[in-house]
A and B are shown apart, each in its own frame.
Chain A
Amino acid sequence: MGKYRATAVGALWFALAFAGAPALPAWTGNHGAPHYSEIARGRYLVKAGDCAYCHTADNGKPFAGGRAVPTPFGIIYSTNITPDKDTGIGRWSEADLYRAMHSGIDRRGNHLYPAFPYPWYTEVTPDDVKAIHAYLATVEPVRKHDRPPELSWPFSMRSLMAVWNKLYFDEGTFTGNPRKSAQWNRGAYLVEGLGHCGACHTPKNFAGATKASDAFEGGYGEHAFAPSLAGGLRDGLGGWTAGEIVEYLKTGSNAKSSAAGPMADEVLHSTQYLSDQDLAAMAAYLKGLPNNESKAPDAATGQLVTLGRDVYADDCSGCHLRSGEGQPGVFPPLKGSSAIQAAKADTLVRIVLDGAQVPPTASKPTGLEMPSFAEKLDDRQVAAVVSFIRNAWGNRAATVSQGEVARMRSQMHQDGGGP
């Protein structure tokens, strides 16, 4: 797990001069043709890591890369991981793939940016990487050159990542905690490793690095705020049962919430395919996270919230009901919802502006959608209604200002999202 070791900006420049690529780990892979069971296991692990989502562009060929991954430092485009020999990873050995996942260094020895989540993948065992390699070798090779990242200086210098790694990244294979159950350990391996849940759900510092002590307390990913997965009752998963976590990851919704934004893609492309046993393990691990929740703010009042109540009655209550309780199995409750009371309201604002779709999974195929209200509601009305739902029916969370909504609206235009 990547840890946050130092914070001084000066240290970054100092370290730059001495940075070098770390040594390769010992590799014990064999070179025979993989068995079917190895390939099948690899396919499952690739689902668990949700590799296809980032490595497939909209309407693009699977795993051929080209998806734009927005970061605070610029746009990074995912790479071609099909087995094409010239433009993909067809020439990569198992050891090459392991070095990329474990150390963040590609076959040519270049540093990868941590938009590729090697700070989490570093925990994946060599055996699992071997299976992933075996599976990726079977997908359709696509000839498609990688698109260079569009980052501002100094982030455009890949060598800077050596410094970043020195400061914020520890290599380390998952070893587990012998005092915990096998189920907890399996869950920890999936959540902290391949699942790379912390990539969004753990807060990041100015350099985009996460801190172990804040693990899963909520963070940003692709402009959405991923709510806390820790034990908080108000804004975390403290109020969810393990069964509810499993249902959410398997089907895209449960009695407490529906997946939206990047999490909807996560369920659609990854977690719905995981075994009930693995999902139960992840739930067991998440339910073990501590409750570090801060004190609830006082309920917001005033003009903004009053306006929000009216907007809610006109535009939201039809589905989510006046009581905020939603409709069981169809539209999620807002009352008591940890997603609604998340530390930051960015995701809620984006859902109101852009709409959202519950992922259409095998077990719940409907794909219910909330429409965009970007054309109907102005910034003040959006701020009002989001502030209202965060403070109605016993909910408590910070209000949102008109200015913040305006900023997010313009950000969405830049991203090409929303009307």
Chain B
Amino acid sequence: MATRLKEVDVVLVGFGLTASILAQELTEDRALQVLALERGPWRDTVPDFSTAWIQDELKYAVRKQMFEDPERETLTFRNSMDQRALPMRHLGSFLPAAGVGGAAVHWNGQYWRYQPVDFMLRSHVEQRYGKQFIPADMTIQDWGVTYEQLEPCYDRFEYMLGISGKAGNLQGTVQQGGNPFEGPRRRDFPNPPLKRSYPTVLFDKGARAAGYEPFPCAAANTSRPYKNIYGVQMGECTYCGYCEWFGCGNYSKASPQTTILPALRRKSNFECRTHCNVTRVNLDSTGRRATGVMYVDAQGREFEQPAQLVILCAYAQHNVRLMLLSGIGKPYDPVANTGVVGRNYAYQIMSSVDVFFKEIINPFMGAGALGQGINEFNTGNFDHGPHGFIGGGYIALWTTGGRPILQHYLPEGTPKWGAGWKKALAENYLKASSIQCHGSVMSYRSNYLDLDPTWKDAYGNPLLRLTFDYQKNEHAMSDFLTDKAVSIAKAMDLRSYHAKQRKGHYSIVPYQTTHNTGGAAMGSDPSNSAVNPYLQSWDVSNVFVMGSSVFPQNGGYNPTGTVGALAYWAVDAIRNRYLKSPGPLMQA
């Protein structure tokens, strides 16, 4: 029997990046009691990411210390509806976090804004190439929010994170040395770009020779000491090369711990409870109003936490699962093509060209977002007409680090083990890097999320079932991008290169990226979106949904910039409109 607790004003499900932003902004109203429920442990820079021991690749990267434990909660997977989905018993293609700070603890810090066309993708494609250009089963749509509306939110997010970068478009004027394709920004980044690594210099040279305009990628790794908008101090990045899958011990990588929590924890109207796994959002008898959430703590005790407002801030897929488990919004049915929750799931399509230099490039001096990139081939930046596909992506050489176990590149044909492997490793470790192609994935009628009919989690609740495969459009786009990356490699004066196209069906086993999107798409039409343009559930107006679960399709960028901008966008609407007069912010 669940214990009923005292009501709070706002309950946040999960305590990662979006929840931290919401908590910090909402608690500015000192009368509002905000509670975050986090399924994982409390974590802080010291002692959890101490520089004395964080560089333990076996513990963190191989044994995956920071991530969710599939023994408690996982998902099932199949490529298509005619297959039987099986549960993931080990983490693979993507790595959701568990613990305070969420995935923003273990990310690289690669920071991008989406471009103006990304937010009106269907309109853009129909207008430029005609309606017939979009395949019948492709369910891409506009977001219901524009770049211009989000621009101040991106700006605030960047000054919160302390982004290091170079503006490419200041109020409509293209800037030398920045990303010339970015949407207009009101001002430059708060910090200058990171110091350059040698391979990024060589990439820059090759990309220019190939006719492109490379630029330093924006980084949530600080290039100099910084004090952010909440008065929180960060130290400059040491280029230790232990960003992705590690916490930062130097206060240099933006995470809730290094940017928000020191300010938030001073407030008495905020509380976080860790090891509390939310299992349901409770609805009243009408099903139109949430009354709070149910959660289970580490002792296995069940609690009912009443709340006036419920905000889902868990990982993208977990938000969707909670909505399905709780009956918030109509579940998507791909056969009947009805319902919205679980619809428009998308992923990312990654390919690469490994490059083998003639000279030593010291790969171990890196940072998660130390990269040089080109953006000529992202969604709106070239004529897709002759190619027949939709979407695109950026191409970049990142020097994220040279960790000994997992981070090295070997030429094609190298033996997988034994003396030949050792020899090749010794010859190449100091002289190799990789060019990445970060490709968009469109949404389709056949790629979706629903509840698995068979498999259950540790609490007896159905697991989420992911049905997903790459479609022709994605392979065509990804091959196109990879060819462009090869053209840069050819201009780089290398010993050799090895192009790694993404072939065949999607496999959930090898790690690719943690950029899952959709399932609770946002939009201005309730027939094809689960939340309105303010991230408010169309069906239950006191439930809001954060994170990339609201993306209607996935863009050719890392999603965090847009996830954060949307959180600021939504919290502004909650504070200035919803809380003053609770109810739907847009009529269905």
- A residues engaging B (CB < 8 A)? 315, 318-319, 327-331, 355, 357, 360, 362-373, 375-376
Q: Judge whether B235 and A331 touch: CB under 8 Å.
A: yes
Pick out which of these stretches binds chain A: B48-56, B58-66, B334-342, B392-400. Answer: B48-56
Q: If A319-B250, A360-B262, A370-B46 touch, does A327 touch B235 (CB 8 Å cutoff)?
A: yes
Inside 8 A of A328's CB, which chain B residues have their CB?
225
- Closest B residue to A377 by CB, please name it: B52
Q: Judge whether B50 and A372 touch: CB under 8 Å.
A: yes
Partner of A318 from the list B45, B46, B51, B266 (CB cut-off 8 Å) is B51
Partner of B47 from the list A330, A360, A368, A372 (CB cut-off 8 Å) is A372
Supply 26 A–B pairs (Cβ within 8 Å), ascending by A.
A315-B51, A318-B51, A318-B238, A319-B238, A319-B250, A327-B225, A328-B225, A330-B225, A355-B47, A355-B50, A357-B46, A360-B262, A360-B266, A362-B266, A364-B231, A364-B233, A365-B232, A366-B233, A367-B262, A369-B46, A371-B46, A371-B47, A371-B249, A373-B52, A375-B52, A376-B53
Q: Judge whether B233 and A368 touch: CB under 8 Å.
A: yes
Inside 8 A of B240's CB, which chain A residues have their CB?
318
Q: How far is the CB of A355 from chain B (nearest CB, A)?
A: 6
Q: Mark B261-276, 1 if CB is under 8 A from A, else 0.
A: 0110010000000000
Interface positions of B from 222 to 256, Cβ below 8 Å from A? 225, 227, 230-236, 238, 240, 249-251
Interface residue SS majority, chain A: loop
Q: If A319-B235, A330-B235 touch, does A368 touch B52 (CB 8 Å cutoff)?
A: no
| A288-B53 Cα distance, complex, nearest whole Å | 45
Partner of B266 from the list A315, A365, A373 (CB cut-off 8 Å) is A365
Interface positions of B from 547 to 570, Cβ below 8 Å from A? none
Residue total for B at the interface (Cβ-Cβ under 8 A): 25
Q: How far is the CB of B253 from chain A (nearest CB, A)?
A: 13
Inside 8 A of A355's CB, which chain B residues have their CB?
46-47, 50
Interface positions of B from 44 to 88, Cβ below 8 Å from A? 44-47, 50-53
What 4 A-B pairs come out closest when comparing CB atoms? A371-B50, A369-B46, A318-B238, A366-B233
- B residues engaging A (CB < 8 A)? 44-47, 50-53, 225, 227, 230-236, 238, 240, 249-251, 262-263, 266
| A328-B251 Cα distance, complex, nearest whole Å | 14
Q: If A330-B233, A357-B46 touch, does A366 touch B51 (CB 8 Å cutoff)?
A: no
Q: Judge whether B232 and A376 touch: CB under 8 Å.
A: no
Inside 8 A of B231's CB, which chain A residues have their CB?
363-366
Q: Judge whether B233 and A329 touch: CB under 8 Å.
A: yes
- Closest A residue to B240 by CB, please name it: A318
- Closest B residue to A373 by CB, please name it: B52
Inside 8 A of B234's CB, which chain A residues have their CB?
330
Most chain B beta-carbon contacts within 10 A, residue among A327, A355, A363 = A327
Q: How far is the CB of B265 from chain A (nearest CB, A)?
A: 8
- Closest B residue to A363 by CB, please name it: B231
| A367-B46 Cα distance, complex, nearest whole Å | 10
- Closest A residue to B232 by CB, please name it: A366
| A364-B227 Cα distance, complex, nearest whole Å | 10
Q: Judge whether B263 and A365 touch: CB under 8 Å.
A: yes
Q: Judge whether A371 and B52 touch: CB under 8 Å.
A: yes
- Closest A residue to B45 by CB, please name it: A369
Q: If A357-B46, A370-B46, A371-B46 touch, does A330 touch B263 (CB 8 Å cutoff)?
A: no
- Closest A residue to B228 by CB, please name it: A366
| A372-B48 Cα distance, complex, nearest whole Å | 11
Inside 8 A of B52's CB, which chain A residues have their CB?
315, 371-373, 375-376
| A199-B545 Cα distance, complex, nearest whole Å | 55
Inside 8 A of B251's CB, which chain A residues have their CB?
330, 366, 368
| A318-B253 Cα distance, complex, nearest whole Å | 14
Partner of A329 from the list B227, B230, B249, B262 (CB cut-off 8 Å) is B227
- Closest B residue to A355 by CB, please name it: B46
Inside 8 A of A370's CB, which chain B residues have their CB?
46
Inside 8 A of B233's CB, which chain A residues have their CB?
329-330, 364, 366, 368
Q: How far is the CB of B28 from chain A (nearest CB, A)?
A: 15
Partner of B236 from the list A327, A362, A363, A369 (CB cut-off 8 Å) is A327
| A406-B254 Cα distance, complex, nearest whole Å | 37
Q: Judge whether A365 and B235 touch: CB under 8 Å.
A: no
Inside 8 A of A327's CB, which chain B residues have their CB?
225, 235-236
| A360-B262 Cα distance, complex, nearest whole Å | 8
| A318-B53 Cα distance, complex, nearest whole Å | 14
| A265-B232 Cα distance, complex, nearest whole Å | 20
- Closest B residue to A375 by CB, please name it: B52
Inside 8 A of A318's CB, which chain B residues have their CB?
51, 238, 240, 250
Q: How far is the CB of A371 from chain B (nearest CB, A)?
A: 3
Most chain A beta-carbon contacts within 10 A, residue among B46, B240, B262, B263 = B46
Q: Judge whether A366 and B50 touch: CB under 8 Å.
A: no
- Closest A residue to B226 by CB, please name it: A330
Q: Judge whether B225 and A329 touch: CB under 8 Å.
A: yes
Inside 8 A of B235's CB, which chain A residues have their CB?
319, 327, 330-331, 368
Extra 6 A-B pairs, beta carbons < 8 Å, given A319-B250, A372-B52:
A329-B227, A330-B233, A366-B231, A370-B46, A371-B51, A375-B52
Q: How far is the CB of B307 from chain A (nearest CB, A)?
A: 27
Inside 8 A of B236's CB, which chain A residues have their CB?
327, 330
Q: How far is the CB of B191 from chain A (nearest CB, A)?
A: 13
Inside 8 A of A371's CB, which chain B residues have their CB?
46-47, 50-52, 249
Inside 8 A of A376's CB, which chain B residues have their CB?
52-53
Most chain A beta-carbon contacts within 10 A, residue among B227, B230, B233 = B233
Inside 8 A of B250's CB, which chain A residues have their CB?
318-319
Inside 8 A of A368's CB, which chain B residues have their CB?
233, 235, 251
- Closest B residue to A253 by CB, please name it: B233
Q: How far is the CB of A316 from chain B (nearest CB, A)?
A: 9
Inside 8 A of B249's CB, which chain A residues have their CB?
371
Inside 8 A of B225's CB, which chain A residues have their CB?
327-330
Q: How far is the CB of A78 from chain B (nearest CB, A)?
A: 26
Q: Judge whether B262 and A366 touch: CB under 8 Å.
A: yes
| A360-B233 Cα distance, complex, nearest whole Å | 11
Inside 8 A of A329's CB, which chain B residues have their CB?
225, 227, 233
Most chain B beta-carbon contacts within 10 A, residue among A329, A369, A371 = A371
Most chain B beta-carbon contacts within 10 A, residue among A327, A357, A366, A376 = A366
Inside 8 A of A363's CB, which chain B residues have their CB?
231
Inside 8 A of B45's CB, which chain A residues have their CB?
369
| A330-B222 Cα distance, complex, nearest whole Å | 12
| A2-B51 Cα distance, complex, nearest whole Å | 45
| A286-B240 Cα distance, complex, nearest whole Å | 42
Q: How far is the CB of B95 from chain A (nearest CB, A)?
A: 25
| A327-B238 Cα distance, complex, nearest whole Å | 12
| A372-B231 Cα distance, complex, nearest whole Å | 25
| A319-B45 Cα distance, complex, nearest whole Å | 14
Inside 8 A of A369's CB, which chain B residues have their CB?
44-46
Q: How far is the CB of A284 from chain B (nearest CB, A)?
A: 28
Q: How far is the CB of B322 from chain A (nearest CB, A)?
A: 32
- Closest B residue to A329 by CB, please name it: B225
| A370-B234 Cα distance, complex, nearest whole Å | 13
| A355-B45 Cα distance, complex, nearest whole Å | 12
| A375-B238 Cα distance, complex, nearest whole Å | 22
- Closest A residue to B54 by CB, please name it: A371
- Closest B residue to A321 by CB, please name it: B236
Inside 8 A of B263's CB, which chain A residues have their CB?
365
Inside 8 A of B53's CB, which chain A residues have their CB?
375-376
Q: How far is the CB of B243 from chain A (nearest CB, A)?
A: 14
Q: How far is the CB of A398 from chain B (nearest CB, A)?
A: 26
| A376-B55 Cα distance, complex, nearest whole Å | 12
Inside 8 A of A372's CB, which chain B residues have their CB?
47, 50, 52
| A236-B236 Cα distance, complex, nearest whole Å | 29
Q: How far is the CB of B544 from chain A (nearest CB, A)?
A: 27
| A273-B235 Cα distance, complex, nearest whole Å | 27
Inside 8 A of B262's CB, which chain A residues have their CB?
360, 365-367
- Closest B residue to A365 by CB, please name it: B262
Q: How far is the CB of A293 from chain B (nearest CB, A)?
A: 31
Inside 8 A of A364's CB, which chain B residues have their CB?
231, 233
- Closest B residue to A361 by CB, please name it: B266
- Closest B residue to A376 by CB, please name it: B52
